[in-house]
Structure 1
């Protein structure tokens, strides 16, 4: 989780969505870096200028006190300590006393060191490299807003869309025998929603090896329809033998594989269908 521009930003990268803990970690790290390069952390001045929830004046660090006498007070808490100065309403009048307090608060705000408010040196170094101009900015005490919310939303939406496009597609194939002397395969492909294809092969008049060979041919056609030829080649090279080995295949337990496919290697074709042989 990161905090940028007054927001907590987070996104979950599950091992099951990316194929391994290492791949999920790499994506999470890249997402963190993308946020750090796109959204600046607040500076110490901006942090000091945030409007507190109990503020009643509408100006950060300026409030009116009534005891022992009415006065407007400029207030600033910084790493160097707390600073306060009051301006008497009876001496200056209400409006001028408030103006003087605002000016003093603005003066103190400019005295705060020019630095980013970050939790570690890496984030601070990235911010200095990406957003050097922000270190020279002195916010107005009459405007405690950070970046416009619409601009933040636009940046986050673009980053999320980019990472949605980087998430691999998952192809899952499950094969089991049933009580009706048939092998049944379920192919689930998650390109646009869950596309499902069911394949059924009769085994009563065939050996297990023959049935699995027919299943292999049917799976090749299904994968070609769903995913395209590159995925079929990858399935044949790395998964088919393990999934369809007649020596190790157990009709009750069945067998299952999951393939994680980069999006650029696939295309979408076909609907939910079933076939039997």
Structure 2
């Protein structure tokens, strides 16, 4: 499931290409051209330095101002040298660890053929806008395939007076969570547990409906009694409420 989701996302958003990244100025770049720097060769000869870093290593070449008839010519030679290195660099996608190179090449392999061309910013903006729309659809589809969970936690806190702490959630990322704290200063434990049972029942019904509430409370209702509640460790229950039938997932 995780691999299918990853490949679905990769199919939407074209990964960066090493040549394009190498032509993109960094924030700290002050020359306007990436990989081109004013430098001093051997500590005494003003020059322009061409540099290219890739997975194959680092290439450097100095172009001394006194050897090329001036600063502009030396800088131009440095830029030309770096472009030559870039043309020799095999084009490939820059993927985060674990991402599928095969999927990237399947959907965007033609971009590698045009890696010597400048990036079309208007085209990229249009692709991103379309990708955002499809991303909403993909997330909804995968959410529907994910098992639905119910987690209930009930603990006795004693650090600042005795309090019962209840937490009910669906365990989803950015999902629904309910928390409630109840002081036992003026009520016995049995009464506090009964009130927490009512809270839990309402929260579960809000999350999954009355039938799930009834089944859960019928199975685990004893934890809300003095005899069934563990004063030291509390209670933590996780259950799959619904496991969708898996019919296969494919990138869009």
Q: TM-score, normalised by structure 1?
A: 0.48
CA RMSD of aligned residues (A): 5.3
Deviations 1:104-163 (A, max 9, x none): 3223212211222447796211211122233122266xxxxxx78xx59x95xx57x938
Change beyond 3 A, Cα 1:110–1:121: farther
Kept after mapping to 2: 8 A contact 1:51/1:59: yes
Partner of 1:138: 116
- CA change 1:252–1:188 in 2 (3 A) is closer
C-alpha change, 1:30 and 1:73, in structure 2 (3 Å) is same
Structure 1 match to 2:160: none
Secondary structure, in 3 states, of the residue corresponding to 1:138?
coil
Alpha-carbon distance in structure 1 between the residues aligned to 2:177 and 2:93 = 43
CA distance in 2, matches of 1:54, 1:228: 52
Of residues 178, 194, 210, the one that matches 2:178 is 194
- Stretch of structure 1 that moved more, 109-118 or 84-93: 84-93
Alignment CA distance shift 1:39-1:244 (3 Å): same
Runs of at least 5 residues in structure 2 that lack an aligned partner in the other structure: 119-123, 157-163, 183-189, 245-252
The equivalent position to 2:49 in structure 1, one of 73, 86, 90, is 73
Match of 2:92 among 102, 115, 135: 115
**What is aligned with 1:36?**
10
Larger RCO of the pair (alpha carbons < 8 Å, separation 6+) = 2
Give the deviation of 1:235 after TM superposition: 4.6
In structure 2, relative to structure 1, the CA distance for the partners of 1:175 and 1:97 (3 Å cut) is closer
> Residues of 2 paired with 1:59 and 1:50: CA distance?
8
- Please name the residue that 2:36 is paired with: 62
Change in CA separation of 1:185 and 1:80 when aligned onto 2, cut-off 3 Å: closer
The 1:105/1:242 distance shift into structure 2, 3 A limit, reads same
Counterparts of 1:91-170 in structure 2, within 5 Å, are 91-118=68-95, 123-135=100-112, 136-138=114-116, 162=139, 166=143, 168=148, 170=150
Q: Which runs of 5+ in 1 are unaligned?
A: 1-25, 141-146, 177-183, 204-211, 265-277
Inter-CA distance 131–38: structure 2 relative to 1 (3 Å threshold): same
Q: Secondary structure at the match of 1:253?
A: coil
